[in-house]
């Protein structure tokens, strides 16, 4: 262990572990063929090295794949079963701030002490037993193995495993006998790996189906549904379609995760949980047949579920909240055309004047303590305050901004909401290093070519809005035009900043100089960007 951490005494034990974890990150793209086929089978050798064959076979696992909604569905599922009294384990990806977010025990990320113990147990054993023929597992596969080790050692009643990418060759798919499987909404994402058609993508996701193990999906496009049904038939899998949850079943309460699309994920989660309960002998078949009510534990699970970075609203904690100035971040890690449209619809709902107060403090306990003074303050100031919507955006270069940005802009514009400025920034996260202590490249050395590409797409879209109403709505105020020397490229409707901290500083300066304006910043396009913003705006 000391050998891995080196002799740098200034690093904490946790930072030493993150350094060791960082050593497993390869520079290859995820589309590299080594992720597939024969290399996938090496995982079973790693499982033998870690003595996890029997523990995994005994786990009562819920396995979930899909293009969008995986994390939300898994979060609802975990919350329901935890409220039913079960000891839960939840494995998700990616993390936003800390890698320990990926491993949750009873709804809480694993503590540092336990993480370190399980991490080094797995890392040291694999270091000792691997060689040139069977090398160390790469980053994500190691994390999946670590997840199985944690849940086995902690003796969870149920392990909810979210697929990282695809399904068939995903590291979580070493599971041979899950209790039940779920496929969330399918769409075009990771096409460089999973295929160019919805059918091909569906085929990869259906790779988690196991012989005669019940599976559920949500309403899908015809092309995708045909493939799911075909794969299910081949494996004698009873496949059923879960309908969106009826909001009336929540007894006047709201889902813990915001957005209309979450009712689709909640409906799937309810069926996954009820099937898990039946197949593990905890529920009579008839108990959930009725559609007019849900058990109290299900309602509580659905209404108290929380997930960072999905339809999350955060006040900038570095701005003095007692003054009129205000900077509010609306965070959503949407990164596909469909999810960006859903994100836009949520954003439209969230910024409505008559909904902002209750939306802002609906689900985040860390905000409750300041809600009363803010609400009373807002009631008095509402009439004389203006709001300005800003977009803070980045996405991975494998995605097509020509598909993403028009969906976002048009959905907002159709409902009368126009972004006064779009800010494009590179990711703060260093992909080949895990941990906040990683050094950042100097701003002058950052490659911004991708951000310039995004900016060009945005400006072209703006020019395409020829209508006079749209032009006046998109007009950039004098307040926003000021002091753009921090940006690398300032155009009429957008700016590229060489770093996220500089973009945040520009926003804070605007807020301080324009105390009658509420700045509402939509942060989207990348979960990495959302995580980076959270690190900077939460004290």
What single-letter DSSP state applies at residue 102?
G
Annotated binding-site ranges: 93, 162, 190, 310, 332
DSSP calls for 456-467: HHHHHHHHH---
Spatial separation of the C-alpha atoms in residues 534 and 366, rounded to whole Å = 13
CA 510 – CA 504 distance, rounded (Å)? 10
Known binding residues for ATP are 310, 332
Give per-residue burial for 93-106: e unless 16+ CB within 10 Å, then b: bbbbbbbbbbbbbe
Planar angle of CA 29, 30, 32, nearest 5 degrees: 75
**Residue stretches of the annotated binding site for Mg(2+):** 93, 162, 190
Q: Is residue 270 within 8 Å of residue 242, measured between CB atoms?
A: yes
SS3 241: strand
Please state, in angstroms and as integers, the Cα–Cα distance from residue 232 to each residue in 181, 208, 239, following that order.
Answer: 11, 10, 6
- Tokens 């930072």 identify what position? 15
Cα–Cα distance measured from residue 170 to residue 138, given in angstroms and rounded to the nearest whole number: 12
Alpha-helix residue ranges (DSSP H) falling in 414-499: 449-464, 468-474, 478-481
Over the range 464-479, which residues count as b (16 or more CB within 10 Å of their CB) and which as e? ebeeeeeeeebeeeeb
Alpha-carbon span 67 to 50, nearest angstrom: 30
Tokens of 166: 């695809």
Residue 473 CA to residue 470 CA, distance in Å, equals 5
Q: Of 73, 524, 63, which Cα lies nearest the Cα of 261?
A: 73
Cα–Cα distance measured from residue 161 to residue 401, given in angstroms and rounded to the nearest whole number: 30
Please state, in angstroms and rounded to a whole number, the distance separating the CA atoms of residues 183 and 383.
Answer: 46
Coil, helix or strand for 530? helix
Nearest Cα residue to 493 out of 455, 523, 527, 525: 455
Q: Pairing state of beta strands 494-496 and 489-490?
A: antiparallel
Query: How many C-beta neighbours within 10 Å does residue 412 have?
Result: 22
Helix-helix angle 37-49:112-129, to 10 degrees: 110
Residues 6+ positions from 255 with CB-CB distance below 8 Å: 76, 245, 262, 263, 266, 302, 303, 305
Task: Please state, in angstroms and rounded to a whole number, the distance separating the CA atoms of residues 283 and 340.
Answer: 38
Three-point CA angle 242, 243, 244, nearest 5°:
120
């Amino acid at each position: 262990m000391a050998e891995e951490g080196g002799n740098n005494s200034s690093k904490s034990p946790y930072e030493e572990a993150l350094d060791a974890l960082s050593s497993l990150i390869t520079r290859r793209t995820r589309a590299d063929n080594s992720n597939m086929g024969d290399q996938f089978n090496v995982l079973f050798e790693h499982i033998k090295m870690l003595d996890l064959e029997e523990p995994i076979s005994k786990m009562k696992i819920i396995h979930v794949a899909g293009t969008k909604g995986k994390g939300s569905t898994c979060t609802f599922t975990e919350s329901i079963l935890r409220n039913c009294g079960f000891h839960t384990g939840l494995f998700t990806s990616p993390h936003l701030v800390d890698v320990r977010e990926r491993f949750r025990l009873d709804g809480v990320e694993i503590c540092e002490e336990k993480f370190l113990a399980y991490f080094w147990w797995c890392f040291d054993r694999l270091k000792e037993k691997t060689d040139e023929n069977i090398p160390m597992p790469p980053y994500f596969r190691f994390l999946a193995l670590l997840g199985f080790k944690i849940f086995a050692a902690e003796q969870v009643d149920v392990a909810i495993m979210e697929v990282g990418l695809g399904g068939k060759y995903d590291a979580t798919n070493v599971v041979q006998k899950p209790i039940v499987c779920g496929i969330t909404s399918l769409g075009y994402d990771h096409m460089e790996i999973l295929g160019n058609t919805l059918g091909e993508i569906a085929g990869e996701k259906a790779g988690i189906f196991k012989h005669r193990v019940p599976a559920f999906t949500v309403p899908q496009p015809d092309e995708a549904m045909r493939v799911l049904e075909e794969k299910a038939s081949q494996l004698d899998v009873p496949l059923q379609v879960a309908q969106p949850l009826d909001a009336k079943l929540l007894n006047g309460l709201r889902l813990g995760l915001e957005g209309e699309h979450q009712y689709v994920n909640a409906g799937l989660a309810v069926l996954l949980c009820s099937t898990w309960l039946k197949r593990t002998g905890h529920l009579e078949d008839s108990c959930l047949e009725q559609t007019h009510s849900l058990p109290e534990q299900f309602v509580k699970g659905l209404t108290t579920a929380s997930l960072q970075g999905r339809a999350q609203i955060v006040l900038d904690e570095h701005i003095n909240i007692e003054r009129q100035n205000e900077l509010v971040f609306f965070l959503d890690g949407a990164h596909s055309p469909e999810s960006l449209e859903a994100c836009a619809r949520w954003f439209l709902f969230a910024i409505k004047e008559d909904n902002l107060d209750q939306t802002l403090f609906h689900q985040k306990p860390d905000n409750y303590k300041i809600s009363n003074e803010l609400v009373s303050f807002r009631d008095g100031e509402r009439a004389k305050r203006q709001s300005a919507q800003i977009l803070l955006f980045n996405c991975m270069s494998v995605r097509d901004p020509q598909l993403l940005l028009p969906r976002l802009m048009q959905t907002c514009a159709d409902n009368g909401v126009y972004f006064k400025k779009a800010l494009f920034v590179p990711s703060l996260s260093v992909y080949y290093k895990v941990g906040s202590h990683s050094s950042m490249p100097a701003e002058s050395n950052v490659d911004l070519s991708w951000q310039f590409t995004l900016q060009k797409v945005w400006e072209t879209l703006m020019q395409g809005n020829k209508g006079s109403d749209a032009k006046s709505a998109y007009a950039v105020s004098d307040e926003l035009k000021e002091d753009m020397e921090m940006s690398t490229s300032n155009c009429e409707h957008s700016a590229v900043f060489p770093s996220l901290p500089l973009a945040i500083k520009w926003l804070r300066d605007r807020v301080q100089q324009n105390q009658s304006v509420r700045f509402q910043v939509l942060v989207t396009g990348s979960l990495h960007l959302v995580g980076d913003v959270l690190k900077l705006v939460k004290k």
